């Protein structure tokens, strides 16, 4: 009778899990987790990873919007548009020292880097500071619509003006 009672209690408790069965299930579970991780990594690796880069050609607006003898910084494009007696030209506004954004200081007639003190003339020539090179001139032209266009990816030699 006692044996019958033990069999009934074991039947109510459900099937027992011996040591070997526990390790088999643990191993299969680990393999399943590893397979899911590998599949997720493979999917991420094989899916296209497209980065959006804006066009290097930028519309800087109409020439009339720039005053005579002005130096105008467009912060979004990091370009100085300079209008002088000879015409228009564009300078890259990123300091050649460590890549800081420079600023026009009209009171001292200088383009200055706020990070490490480099100073440039309105033509981009280095006056002082740790910058190794002058600010590069960028290709600028007048579009068919009469807008000033700048190609940020095309550096040119200085003193090439756009005459309007």
| Kind of pairing between the strands at 88-92 and 103-105 | unpaired
Residue 12: the pLDDT is 63
3-state secondary structure of 121: coil
Query: Is 75 found in the same domain as 136?
Result: yes
- Which residues of the chain fall short of a pLDDT of 50? none
**What residues does 61 pair with on adjacent strands?**
148
Place of tokens 């007048």: 142
**Six token digits for residue 62:** 């109409």
Please tell me the predicted confidence (pLDDT) of residue 148.
Answer: 92
Task: List all residues 6 or more positions away from 153 whose beta carbon is below 8 Å from its beta carbon.
Answer: 56
Whether residue 29 sits in one domain with residue 78: no
pLDDT score of 163: 81
Q: State how beta strands 119-120 and 126-128 pair.
A: antiparallel
Question: Do 146 and 74 share a structural domain?
Answer: yes
pLDDT of residue 30: 95
Residues 150 and 130 in one domain: yes
Domain that holds residue 125: 57-156
The angle subtended at Cα 76 by Cα 139 and Cα 78, nearest 5°, is 45
Q: Per the structure, how many domains does the chain have?
A: 2
pLDDT at 35: 96
* Contact in structure between 113 and 102 (CB atoms under 8 Å): yes
Residue 136 lies in a domain: yes
């Amino acid at each position: 009778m006692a044996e019958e009672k033990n069999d009934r209690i074991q039947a109510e408790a459900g099937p027992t899990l011996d040591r070997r069965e526990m390790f088999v299930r643990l191993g299969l579970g680990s393999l399943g987790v590893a397979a899911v991780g590998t599949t997720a990594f493979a999917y991420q690796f094989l899916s296209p990873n497209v980065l959006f880069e804006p066009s290097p050609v930028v519309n800087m607006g109409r020439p009339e919007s720039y005053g005579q003898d002005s130096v105008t910084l467009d912060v979004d494009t990091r370009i100085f548009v300079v209008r002088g007696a000879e015409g228009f030209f564009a300078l890259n506004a990123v300091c050649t020292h460590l890549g800081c954004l420079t600023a026009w200081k009209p009171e001292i007639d200088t383009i200055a880097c706020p990070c490490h003190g480099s100073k440039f003339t309105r033509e981009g020539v280095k006056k002082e500071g740790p910058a190794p090179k002058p600010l590069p001139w960028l290709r600028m032209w007048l579009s068919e619509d009469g807008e000033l266009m700048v190609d940020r990816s095309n550096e040119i030699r200085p003193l090439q003006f756009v005459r309007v």
